[in-house]
Amino acid sequence: MKHHWMAWILLGISVLGLAACAGRSQPTPTSTPALSATSPVAGSDVMELAMEGFKKGACGACHVIPGVPGAQGTLGPDLSQIAEVAEKRLESGEYTGKAKSVLDYLHEAIVEPDAFVAPDCNGVPCQKGLMPANLGALLSPAEIEAVVQYLYHPPEEVAEQTTSVPEEPSLTGEVPLLSEEEFAWAKQVYFERCAGCHGTLRKGATGPALTPDKTQPKGTLALASIIFNGTPRGMPDWGKQGFLTQEQTEIMAKFLQMEPPAPPEMSLEQMKQTWKVLVPPEQRPTQPQTTRNWQNYFVVTLRDAGQVAVIDGDTYEVVAKLDTGYAVHISRMSATGRYVYVIGRDGRLVMVDLWPEVPQKVAEVQTCYDARSVEVSKYKGELGDFTDRYAIVGCYWPPHFVILDGQTLEPFKIVSTRGYTIDMEEYHPEPRVAAIVASHFKPEWIVNIKEIGQIWLVDYSDPHNPTIKMIEAARYLHDGGWDATKRYFLVAANQSNKVAVVDALDGKLVALVDTPAVPHPGRGANWVDPQFGPVWSTAHLGDAAITTIGTDPVGHPQYAWKAVREIALPGSGSLFIKTHPTSPWIWVDMTLNSDPKLARTICVVAKSDPTQPYKCWEVADYGRATHFEYNRQGTEVWVSVWGTADKPGQTGEIVIYDDRTLQEKERIPNLITPTGKFNVYNTVNDIY
Ligand code: DHE
């Protein structure tokens, strides 16, 4: 059914003839987009017009289209054999749009893309709204017709190309211009919304690289559409969520095609200028002043308020709200549980003392411009008592970690993480520090260096002169937690679709486990599977599944460090999973799912029958459901409803469930964008 290119041009004069020749269904007379002899398009113009149409529509940014330079996109369906695919769909009855023929189908897909959304976009369901709805207006009728023809019957030499022969994307050389004001605005928005996933220098991590060689071939239209609509693999829909207007997404799209500006470095001296001891150690209480059950406090991130709330887990009262860093990210407790260390995305570390009647900030310091992780020294044993002695902050920019005094937050040691990737041994200017955990076996922190794929064991017994063992794992290390014995640390290498397992006792990598797309465990969930014994589970941003990995090399060696079970979920976009040793359930969210209903839906899986979710339900009628935490007793689960800071009544709340009956017990309303919640006792003891 393949034709020489010249023949294709000639046939372009009458697609009706071609349709018959190809044996495909013919377009209906009323809606046919086909060319005719009287069409304004004829002969070799067809190819040119098709190419112009593909370029204007930036189709190659999302699709593989043989013969179109740079068309290697994977967000939309592969269009190499779209006519055959369309024909099968029309015949099978799975198609639900209005087209009666393949040509109609192709035409409809361009001018009315949401009339039928294809079921498969490279392994994930295609997403409504992602394909720009304005192509019908943007392309001339003749261009649309030419594109339809091209896809219907690509010229022979093109049709023979396979998708396994990637074409080099070509730079357009046309860098869009922004005014100074627009550039400054876009730079700030990029830092606030995009740098976390794509990197400050845009070299990619949780999200793909966005350097000009990648973005220019996509062009403004396609980039803006992705920014506005999000993608099924976890890119948020900033336009649909109301964070960016159509015009603003275009400014962002243009910014992304320009060279990324590099932010400044930060010295120890600069950090010290921001350092404040608000209550010196000698003026702090020597025993708890409060009669509250402070070990059952929940420290709750109020993301967009730049605060944490300390909430009494017995009475549900908000005991204190304390100002912290910008877009505050996580909290970790000191080994004794008395102090909370809160890290903001702006690198500001705040230390809170939970012993006064009302919890109080006692010190703060800024350690970088962009940070995500903080941990403390926890080791107590033959080598000394390091509890509450040191803290460590992991930074995204500058790429370094900082060791601080655990009582005063005085920073005293900076270690750069710049280095070479484990796979290509290529220099990387921005290897960011992801999860950090403190070993229970040695005075060591396990520090995950995202972009180069190394897990560093940092010995803090002589913290001015730390020794570091660099373990090769996999690129894009992100978040993770201990197994139930706390000997093995499991960390997601998210864009590598792997979980790395480190033995903290022997100080070595024991496994790299393959998983579905973009594992995202938070700290994961430890439980005992009826078939496979002790396991640890992760959810996924890019796949609708929970992956379960065997963690018992002694009792169940045949399953150890293998993905033994996959549990299907109603959607992807999961961020967190949680359980408790005494609970019958595993709880999981789908926070970043592009369907608003799924984004606020949570599921529980029964440990006794882990083949499928036992129950899924929406926790609110707005916002996104995210992150779980148990109370100290392990009888309640707290879930955040992450709302919108400036929408009164819908800013966010915490919903509390009875963990045995799954019945709702209480709501703590009107919190500003609550996300992570950290119970003092559970965080100190790594219970999850
Ligand atoms: Fe997080 C953990 C990084 C977005 C809430 N997040 C982590 C960790 C890292 C990380 C490296 C592990 C820390 C550790 O254990 O030491 N997070 C990032 C990002 O780079 C990312 C993807 C994008 C960004 O721009 O920051 C990102 N994170 C988010 C959110 O949007 C969340 C949902 C809400 C928010 O804060 O904006 C969010 N991340 C959390 C939470 C944890 C976390 C609650 C800790 C989970 C736990 O139970 O330990």
Number of helices (H) and strands (E), helices first, in the chain? 16, 37
pLDDT of residue 185: 96
655: left (phi over 0), alpha (psi -120 to 50) or beta: beta
Q: Which of these, 177, 154, 184, lies nearest to 78 by C-alpha position?
A: 154
Candidates 59, 235, 368, 590; catalytic one: 235
Give ligand 1 pocket residues (Cβ under 6 A): 196-197, 206, 301, 303, 327, 329-330, 372-373, 434-436, 478-479, 522-523, 575, 626-627, 675-676
CB atoms within 10 A of CB 582: 12
Q: Which of these, 157, 251, 147, 307, lies nearest to 651 by C-alpha position?
A: 307
Question: 502-555 pLDDT, tens per residue?
Answer: 999 999 999 999 999 999 999 999 999 999 999 999 999 999 999 999 999 999
1 is catalytic: no
Architecture of the 514-687 domain: 8 Propeller (2.140)
Q: How confident is the model at residue 2 (pLDDT cuts 50, 70, 90)?
A: very low
Q: Using H for helix, E for strand and C for coil, what is the string for 151-205?
A: HHCCCHHHHCCCCCCCCCCCCCCCCCCCCHHHHHHHHHHHHHHHHHHHCCCCCCC
Residues 48 and 45: their CA atoms lie apart, in Å, by 5
Greater model confidence, 45 or 92: 92
pLDDT of residue 206: 83
In the chain, % of residues over pLDDT 70: 91
| Average pLDDT along the chain | 90
Least reliable range by pLDDT among 199-213, 451-465, 655-669: 199-213
- Separation in Å, CA 649 to CA 81, 108, 240, 244: 50, 41, 20, 22
Give the list of residues 6+ apart from residue 378 with CB closer than 8 angstroms, or none.
335, 386, 387, 438, 439, 440
Residues 78 and 640: their CA atoms lie apart, in Å, by 38
Q: Using H for helix, E for strand and C for coil, what is the string for 434-483?
A: EEEEECCCCCEEEEEECCCCEEEEEECCCCCCCEEEEEECCCCEEEEEEC
Q: Do domains 180-257 and 514-687 have the same CATH topology?
A: no
Q: How confident is the model at residue 235 (pLDDT cuts 50, 70, 90)?
A: confident
What is the mean predicted confidence (pLDDT) over 56-77?
Answer: 83
Question: 20-32 pLDDT, tens per residue?
Answer: 333 344 444 333 3
CB atoms within 10 A of CB 420: 14
198 is catalytic: yes
Instruction: Answer whether residue 296 shows pLDDT above 80.
Output: yes
The ranges assigned to domains in the chain are 44-152, 180-257, 514-687
194 is catalytic: yes
Quickly tell me which residue has 């460090």 as its tokens: 561
Least reliable range by pLDDT among 149-153, 312-316, 333-337: 149-153
Which of 206, 329, 687 is the best mutation target for the ligand 1 pocket, counting ligand atoms within 8 Å of the beta carbon and taking the most?
329
**323-354 burial by CB neighbour count: b if 16+ within 10 A, else e?**
bbbebbbbbbbbbebbbbbbbbbbbbbbbbbb
Q: How confident is the model at residue 457 (pLDDT cuts 50, 70, 90)?
A: very high
440 is catalytic: no
pLDDT of residue 253: 95
Q: How confident is the model at residue 161 (pLDDT cuts 50, 70, 90)?
A: low
197 is catalytic: yes
Residues 484 and 182: their CA atoms lie apart, in Å, by 50
Distance from the CA of 301 to the center of ligand 1, in angstroms? 11
Counting Cβ atoms within 10 Å, is residue 212 exposed (0-12), middle (13-18) or buried (19+)? middle
pLDDT of residue 41: 45
Q: Contact at 8 Å (CB) between 83 and 152?
A: yes
Q: Contact at 8 Å (CB) between 394 and 332?
A: no
479: left (phi over 0), alpha (psi -120 to 50) or beta: beta
Residues 152 and 73: their CA atoms lie apart, in Å, by 19
Q: Contact at 8 Å (CB) between 482 and 437?
A: yes
Q: How confident is the model at residue 74 (pLDDT cuts 50, 70, 90)?
A: confident
Question: 139-155 pLDDT, tens per residue?
Answer: 999 999 999 999 998 87
Cis amide prior to 398 (ω within 30 degrees): yes
Residues 256 and 217: their CA atoms lie apart, in Å, by 11
Instruction: Answer whether residue 18 shows pLDDT above 70.
Output: no
pLDDT of residue 198: 94
Question: 587-611 pLDDT, tens per residue?
Answer: 999 999 989 999 999 999 999 999 9
3-state SS class at 63 = coil
Instruction: Answer whether residue 203 shows pLDDT above 60.
Output: yes
The H-or-E segment that residue 74 falls in is none
Q: How confident is the model at residue 7 (pLDDT cuts 50, 70, 90)?
A: very low
Nearest CA to ligand 1 atom 20: 196
pLDDT of residue 273: 98
478 is catalytic: yes
Distance from the CA of 522 to the center of ligand 1, in angstroms? 8
Candidates 63, 478, 540, 627; catalytic one: 478
3-state SS class at 595 = coil
What is the mean predicted confidence (pLDDT) over 198-207?
Answer: 90
DSSP alpha helix (H) spans, 608-663: none
Question: Which two structure tokens, joined as six digits, stand for 254?
Answer: 């243009």
Instruction: Answer whether residue 78 shows pLDDT above 50.
Output: yes
Instruction: Answer whether residue 93 shows pLDDT above 60.
Output: yes
Residues 430 and 368: their CA atoms lie apart, in Å, by 13
Q: How confident is the model at residue 4 (pLDDT cuts 50, 70, 90)?
A: very low
3-state SS class at 320 = strand
- What is the CATH code of the structural domain delimited by 180-257? 1.10.760.10
Q: At 598, give phi and psi (nearest 5°).
A: -70, -30
Question: 568-594 pLDDT, tens per residue?
Answer: 999 999 999 999 999 999 999 999 998
Judge: domain 44-152, CATH 2.60.40.10: no
Question: 468-485 pLDDT, tens per residue?
Answer: 999 999 999 999 999 999
